[in-house]
A and B are shown apart, each in its own frame.
Chain A
Amino acid sequence: MNNWTEREDEPVKLKFFGLGKILPYLRPYRGVTVLICLLILVDGFCSLAVPLFQRYAIDVFIAEKTLDGFPAFVGGFLGVLLLQVAASVIWVKNAINVEMFVGRDLKRAGFNHLQTLSLTYFNQNAVGYILARVMNDTNQIARMLSWGVVDSLWALVSIMGSFAIMLGLNWRLALAVMAVMPIAVVVGGFFQGKLVVWNRRVRELNSRITGNFNEGITGAKTTKTLVVEEKIEREFRAATADMRKTAVRSARFGALFISITTFLVVLSIALVLYYGGQLTREGLMLIGTLSAFTNYALSLVNPIQNLAGFITELITTQVNIERFTGLLATKPGIADSPKVLQKYGDAFEPKRENWEPIKGDIEFQDVSFRYPDGDENVLEHFNLKVPAGACVAIVGETGAGKSTLVNLVCRFYEPSEGRILIDGRDYRERSQLWLHENIGYVLQSPHLFSGSVRENLLYGRPDATDGEIAAAVRAVGAEGIIERLERGYETDVGESGDLLSTGEKQLLSFARAILADPRIFVLDEATSSVDTLTERLIQQAIDRLLAGRSSFLIAHRLSTIRRADLILVVQAGKIVEQGSHEALLAKRGDYYTLYTQQYEEEATSELLEHQTE
């Protein structure tokens, strides 16, 4: 759960705030966008007209004490208001739509691109980080694109319209009010800039406090046994006190921003009153006009603050744009060649009609390999022939690098030198999907998806019949699990299968693999502690899985290891011994040590557990 402590990225500066990179996403909606802009103009002009009606009332009805033309006045006023309502409802709705559609398109682009990236990317970036790119950055960008444009346009219309009208009413007075404007925007912008920096700090502290909570809860047992509650609590209090101080400092800038911009605008009213009053006294201006002026001047407060806010948003969103476009620009480390794509199709549009059936011969030919982020070869000129149906076990200590071969066979990585042949042909001559659909892969930590048991079992072969599902479940001895579940196959397994136990997930993932019926099988065996009965079930399931398939096993259990045709012993990333079980035992090398140790552990556990039964 890294997302609780995700660190903030450094702020970035992009050309034109990075807008160039994301404007294409607005293109499909340019018609609607134009409509929104037009309606905002209508809406804005209606708003601007309201003080004019007041002015008319004062200067005509009240000053001349007559109600001539009163019905037309009311009618006109109401008409303008209704026009405004209509314009506003339509543009607001469409602005939300554009925001959501752009967000949807961005999400789709990000998600689909992720499906093509190689596993290196997923190993290097935490799930929480990638998820934030697809879910949060896209939201932020879409919001800025849609509402940023709308709000700033609205602000511009209001400000410019107000000035135009003020200029029309009395240009000298208008200029006096206008003089205040640039100061307000500059000062406002300055404090907004400060605010951005402080808000970052507040967010960082916030995630630190969340991290502290996490630690305080997951470390509860340790805290209690060491009796360090007070110390931990003291540190937590220091963090929250820090948070308070920073938040208050940040609030100062926010308060300064609001207070100063409002103050400056109100100050312009003093000007209006003074000069305008003189003009009125000299008979050059009517009282209603004076009132309209004050109204227009006051109506500048919000647009000015919005404009400053938009500029801030533009600055902060650059980070999101940078991160998101960075994701889209990431090239898949493993890609099919154009020729292969043409014949076999890609992951989304496979051309199955051109796919050759697979037998399952695998051959490593002079393969050397180093990880993209590594600095030395972990395989050098490695040769290995696995005839169809043979079983290769890979053993070694935790962290010795047992996954390397498996990653290569699955083409999650490709050899740096040499080739890997499947049925005598370099696997790069066929598409990744062709290989993957023919490989069954069961992970150390079984992964299920939200949804029903049935949906999960069908994951590898969506068109399997109920009979086939039941057969696969029986084959791995998981029928007991299905019976125990309240709604059988339709039972919801919860997020990532959390409603099931590890053993249950393991067995169901075996059934899922059997159902897919691949020719090549890869198993990363779990070492998780399950009860003896489940252990036995898993054991039997593995035997059924492997029957008649070429297989690569990262093995921990002796029974699994012993049944292999060939055993590879891995140490510090390299293959140090290889041969059959008997040959390796006779050699009395690393395998022998590993084997006896494992034997001792398993036998001891069995001995102790056996007593309990």
Chain B
Amino acid sequence: MSKKPSKLRLILRFMPGALPWFLVTIAFSALVMFCDMVMPQIVSVTVDSVLGGLPFALPASVLALLGGENALRGPQSGLLLMAAAVAATAIVAALARYVSRVAGTRGSERYVQSMRDALFSHIQKLPFAWHTKNRTGDIIQRCTSDVDQVRGFVTGQLVEMVRILFQVGFSMAAMFAMNAALTMVALGFVPVIFGYSCFFSWRIQKKFQAADEEEGTLSTIAQENLTGVRVVRAFGRERFERDKFERQNETYTMAWVNLGGTLSWFWTLSDFIPILLSMVLVALGSVSAVRGEISAGQFIAFLSYAAMMAWPLRQLGRMVSEMSKAGVSIDRLNHILSAPAEQDRPGAVAAPLKGGIAFEHIRFGYSPEKEILHDVSFTIPAGSTFAILGGTGSGKSTLMHLLNRLYELPEGGGRITIDGIDIAGMKAAALRDQIGMVLQEPFLFSRTIGENIALSLQQPDEKALRAAAADASLEETIAEFPLGFSTVVGERGVTLSGGQRQRAAIARALIKDCPVLVFDDSLSAVDTKTDARIRAALARHRGKATLILISHRVTTLMAADQILVLDGGRVAELGSHEELLARGGIYRSVWDLQMQGGEREHE
């Protein structure tokens, strides 16, 4: 195996909890195997000695345990003992089989559990920049299909392979003990079985992959037909769609028919070769037995062992050819697990904040070639209200991303301080915990609306929940829900409108009593009346928290202590409402425009 050490390390990383169970599995399947091996011996002894009168080929201790030679030769007792031995072996085998299977699942589930937990935990810790670079569907694919693939490799193949090697080894040893010459013949079949199964598995895998791709294409055609059903109908292209699907359906079917040809040979030969082996052994064994080199009982036992050796060998070929698949999956998981997680600087502090913020000469772009913020500086005194106005792409949201360190400022990109402390030297969790940020397109988790709002609380607090919902003007909406605060929202529950989602997110941020609150255009989907009510509620926080508002509505912005107009990543205007009005710049134009509409409305 030419596995890179990192692949091996990844496989071993999740082993600790699972390994004991895997060892139990292997130990007990060895016991099953032992029982399976003993069975032919019992039959052999019965045939040769109990019935045939040959001396017992048993160790003295076993013989004594069974009551001595005479008891065994007794007309009834001997057979009864042998039958009892078979039954006893069967019971032990059944118990061992049960234990080994359950232990196997335990190990496998532990393994996959620690793999999933590690992935999820790591994904949570990865920087936001990583999340924006990777597609959700792709990551989920890795966390599900590739995890299954690796699990299949570890439990289905590594463990199974150890078991098979045991079984093959044991059978060979038993055969050698009985007749070396016949064993050599049986051994001659080993490379044949192994080789052809490798060859076929490799071919089948390729054809299978091809068929899989055709199925994917077929599925895409059907899916696009369904998502685009209005387009199909509007252009009257049902017939075209039918033919397109029909063609690919045929292609896919024929890919499988092609694969079926190979499969039918593979399966048939898989059965044929071991039977051929037993035929050869029957023929040669007969000759040996006639020559008196082997007894009838041994002949029977030998055939059983040969079968035990030959059948599992077929699987070994498949396993070898599937290793390459597992290797690819491991690489895909490594892509996630080896991505560097967010890390605080050594000696990072976690001080309670008052909320005096300063942006100092900020230069930043998401990619090095395209700078979005060009030397932006401003300060926000603790407890004041600060408003930002700017067009799409002017860098408003970017400023907020930098403030709670969803993105880190590069070296020489200026610095942001809160209460005089550079945020780069703070613990990220402590920083974010004290900045209540409401995003423009908030995400709600699939759980109750109450749980969503109280997400950041350690203990459920009914009073705080109601107060936050009230401040966010969400009470009436929730009262309309059938289950009130216990109504499940999100993907698996009630779908909320954009405005309702925004208000839920506001309540979620308000429940925490943060020294800094940021509203990143988070009232855009809320009507003007509700907007005003929420702002009135926010006014009560005035002085207690630093408030940053981003909006297009001047009515939202005008009451702020300072208003910043951002233009193409530069500070265009900065001052109070009155100052900016007097200045007659962008803010003034927007104000005139919106007030003129407002006045018209009130005429």
- Taking Cβ atoms with an 8 Å cutoff, the residues of A that contact B are 1-2, 4-5, 50, 53-54, 57-58, 61-63, 65-67, 70, 73-74, 77-78, 81, 84-85, 88-90, 92-93, 96-97, 100-101, 103-104, 107-108, 111-112, 114-116, 119, 122, 127, 130-131, 134-135, 209-229, 231-233, 236-237, 240-241, 243-244, 247-248, 251-252, 254-256, 258-260, 262-263, 266-267, 269-271, 273-274, 277-278, 280-281, 287-288, 290-291, 294, 347-350, 398-399, 410, 412, 432-433, 436-437, 439-441, 443, 447, 449-450, 459-460, 462, 495-496, 516, 522, 529, 531, 593, 596-597, 599-601, 603-605, 607-609, 611-612
Could you say which residues of chain A place their CB within 8 Å of the CB of B594? 600, 604
Is the beta-carbon distance between B226 and A255 smaller than 8 angstroms?
Answer: no
Is the beta-carbon distance between A115 and B296 smaller than 8 angstroms?
Answer: no
23 cross-chain CB contacts under 8 A = A81-B275, A92-B268, A103-B253, A104-B252, A107-B218, A115-B232, A127-B227, A213-B119, A213-B144, A222-B445, A224-B128, A236-B120, A251-B105, A259-B101, A266-B93, A269-B86, A398-B497, A410-B234, A433-B236, A441-B230, A450-B221, A459-B235, A608-B590
- How many angstroms from the CA of A81 to the CA of B508 in the assembled complex? 74
B435 interfacial contact with A, CB 8 Å: yes
Is the beta-carbon distance between A436 and B233 smaller than 8 angstroms?
Answer: yes
Is the beta-carbon distance between A213 and B222 smaller than 8 angstroms?
Answer: no
- How many angstroms from the CA of A243 to the CA of B108 in the assembled complex? 12
In the complex, which residue of chain A has the Cβ closest to the Cβ of B342?
Answer: A224
Could you say which residues of chain A place their CB within 8 Å of the CB of B109? 243-244, 247-248
Could you say which residues of chain A place their CB within 8 Å of the CB of B126? 220
Of the listed stretches B7-15, B46-54, B320-328, B473-481, chain A binds B46-54
Chain A: minimal CB distance from B480 (Å): 15
B98 interfacial contact with A, CB 8 Å: yes
- How many angstroms from the CA of A53 to the CA of B89 in the assembled complex? 28
Chain A: minimal CB distance from B131 (Å): 5
In the complex, which residue of chain A has the Cβ closest to the Cβ of B139?
Answer: A217
Chain B: minimal CB distance from A336 (Å): 12
Known: A96-B260, A274-B82, A609-B392. 17 other contacts (CB 8 A): A2-B491, A54-B300, A227-B432, A228-B455, A231-B455, A240-B117, A269-B86, A278-B79, A290-B47, A291-B300, A398-B498, A433-B236, A529-B392, A605-B391, A605-B392, A608-B567, A611-B567
- How many angstroms from the CA of A272 to the CA of B572 in the assembled complex? 98
Q: A104-B249, A224-B432 are in contact. Are A433 and B272 (CB under 8 A)?
A: no
Chain B: minimal CB distance from A456 (Å): 10
Which residue among A53, A224, A259, A439 has the maximum number of chain B CB atoms within 10 Å of its CB? A224
B229 interfacial contact with A, CB 8 Å: yes
| The one of A57, A90, A115, A599 that contacts B238, using a Cβ cutoff of 8 Å | A115
B420 interfacial contact with A, CB 8 Å: no
Of the listed stretches B58-66, B276-284, B362-370, chain A binds B276-284
- How many angstroms from the CA of A53 to the CA of B121 in the assembled complex? 61
Chain A: minimal CB distance from B461 (Å): 15
- How many angstroms from the CA of A270 to the CA of B84 in the assembled complex? 7
Chain B: minimal CB distance from A606 (Å): 9
B87 interfacial contact with A, CB 8 Å: yes
Q: Is the interface of A mostly helix, strand, loop or mixed?
A: helix
Could you say which residues of chain A place their CB within 8 Å of the CB of B209? none
| The one of B240, B276, B492 that contacts A5, using a Cβ cutoff of 8 Å | B492
Is the beta-carbon distance between A114 and B47 smaller than 8 angstroms?
Answer: no
Is the beta-carbon distance between B286 and A67 smaller than 8 angstroms?
Answer: yes
Chain A: minimal CB distance from B249 (Å): 5
B290 interfacial contact with A, CB 8 Å: yes
- How many angstroms from the CA of A225 to the CA of B113 in the assembled complex? 27
Could you say which residues of chain B place their CB within 8 Å of the CB of A114? 225-226
Q: A62-B296, A104-B250, A604-B593 are in contact. Are A277 and B39 (CB under 8 A)?
A: no
Is the beta-carbon distance between B83 and A273 smaller than 8 angstroms?
Answer: yes
Is the beta-carbon distance between B265 and A89 smaller than 8 angstroms?
Answer: yes
Could you say which residues of chain B place their CB within 8 Å of the CB of A270? 83-84, 86-87, 90
B583 interfacial contact with A, CB 8 Å: no
- How many angstroms from the CA of A612 to the CA of B83 in the assembled complex? 94
Is the beta-carbon distance between B282 and A211 smaller than 8 angstroms?
Answer: no
B180 interfacial contact with A, CB 8 Å: no
Is the beta-carbon distance between A262 and B455 smaller than 8 angstroms?
Answer: no
Chain A: minimal CB distance from B471 (Å): 17
Which residue among B106, B109, B259, B492 has the maximum number of chain A CB atoms within 10 Å of its CB? B109
- How many angstroms from the CA of A56 to the CA of B487 in the assembled complex? 75
B331 interfacial contact with A, CB 8 Å: no
Is the beta-carbon distance between B246 and A108 smaller than 8 angstroms?
Answer: yes
Which residue among A63, A214, A432 has the maximum number of chain B CB atoms within 10 Å of its CB? A214
| The one of A53, A215, A609 that contacts B282, using a Cβ cutoff of 8 Å | A53
Chain B: minimal CB distance from A534 (Å): 12
B443 interfacial contact with A, CB 8 Å: yes
Is the beta-carbon distance between B220 and A255 smaller than 8 angstroms?
Answer: no
Could you say which residues of chain B place their CB within 8 Å of the CB of A496? 224, 227-228
| The one of B93, B256, B593 that contacts A607, using a Cβ cutoff of 8 Å | B593
In the complex, which residue of chain B has the Cβ closest to the Cβ of A126?
Answer: B226
- 0/1 string, B350-393, CB within 8 A of A gives 1: 00000000000000000000000000000000000000011111
Chain B: minimal CB distance from A551 (Å): 14
Interface size on B, residues (CB 8 A): 151
- How many angstroms from the CA of A116 to the CA of B233 in the assembled complex? 9
Is the beta-carbon distance between B140 and A443 smaller than 8 angstroms?
Answer: no
Chain A: minimal CB distance from B361 (Å): 21
- 0/1 string, B206-229, CB within 8 A of A gives 1: 000000000100111111111111
B317 interfacial contact with A, CB 8 Å: no
Is the beta-carbon distance between A237 and B124 smaller than 8 angstroms?
Answer: no
In the complex, which residue of chain B has the Cβ closest to the Cβ of A588?
Answer: B603
Give the 5 A-B CB pairs with smallest separation, nearest first. Answer: A96-B260, A608-B391, A441-B234, A251-B105, A255-B101
- How many angstroms from the CA of A97 to the CA of B222 in the assembled complex? 22
B545 interfacial contact with A, CB 8 Å: no
Could you say which residues of chain A place their CB within 8 Å of the CB of B95? 259
Q: A92-B264, A115-B242, A229-B125 are in contact. Are A608 and B456 (CB under 8 A)?
A: no
Chain A: minimal CB distance from B200 (Å): 13
Is the beta-carbon distance between A131 and B219 smaller than 8 angstroms?
Answer: yes
| The one of B137, B391, B492, B508 that contacts A612, using a Cβ cutoff of 8 Å | B391
Could you say which residues of chain B place their CB within 8 Å of the CB of A262? 93-94, 97
- How many angstroms from the CA of A73 to the CA of B282 in the assembled complex? 10
Could you say which residues of chain B place their CB within 8 Å of the CB of A62? 286, 289-290, 296, 299
- How many angstroms from the CA of A439 to the CA of B237 in the assembled complex? 12
Could you say which residues of chain B place their CB within 8 Å of the CB of A97? 257, 260
Which residue among B286, B567, B593 has the maximum number of chain A CB atoms within 10 Å of its CB? B286
Is the beta-carbon distance between A65 and B97 smaller than 8 angstroms?
Answer: no
Q: A287-B52, A290-B47, A604-B594 are in contact. Are A252 and B394 (CB under 8 A)?
A: no
| The one of B143, B435, B439, B445 that contacts A221, using a Cβ cutoff of 8 Å | B439
Which residue among B110, B572, B601 has the maximum number of chain A CB atoms within 10 Å of its CB? B601
Is the beta-carbon distance between B446 and A266 smaller than 8 angstroms?
Answer: no
- 0/1 string, B154-189, CB within 8 A of A gives 1: 000000000000000000000000000000000000
Could you say which residues of chain A place their CB within 8 Å of the CB of B128? 220-221, 224
Is the beta-carbon distance between A218 and B443 smaller than 8 angstroms?
Answer: yes
Chain A: minimal CB distance from B477 (Å): 15
B285 interfacial contact with A, CB 8 Å: yes
- How many angstroms from the CA of A57 to the CA of B437 in the assembled complex? 85
Is the beta-carbon distance between A450 and B87 smaller than 8 angstroms?
Answer: no
- How many angstroms from the CA of A112 to the CA of B126 in the assembled complex? 46
Is the beta-carbon distance between B113 and A127 smaller than 8 angstroms?
Answer: no
| The one of A215, A236, A247, A495 that contacts B105, using a Cβ cutoff of 8 Å | A247
Is the beta-carbon distance between B51 and A93 smaller than 8 angstroms?
Answer: no
Which residue among B229, B392, B394 has the maximum number of chain A CB atoms within 10 Å of its CB? B229
Is the beta-carbon distance between B264 and A93 smaller than 8 angstroms?
Answer: yes
| The one of A88, A248, A449 that contacts B268, using a Cβ cutoff of 8 Å | A88
- How many angstroms from the CA of A295 to the CA of B86 in the assembled complex? 14
Is the beta-carbon distance between B600 and A58 smaller than 8 angstroms?
Answer: no
Could you say which residues of chain B place their CB within 8 Å of the CB of A605? 391-392, 552
Which residue among B43, B124, B234, B492 has the maximum number of chain A CB atoms within 10 Å of its CB? B234
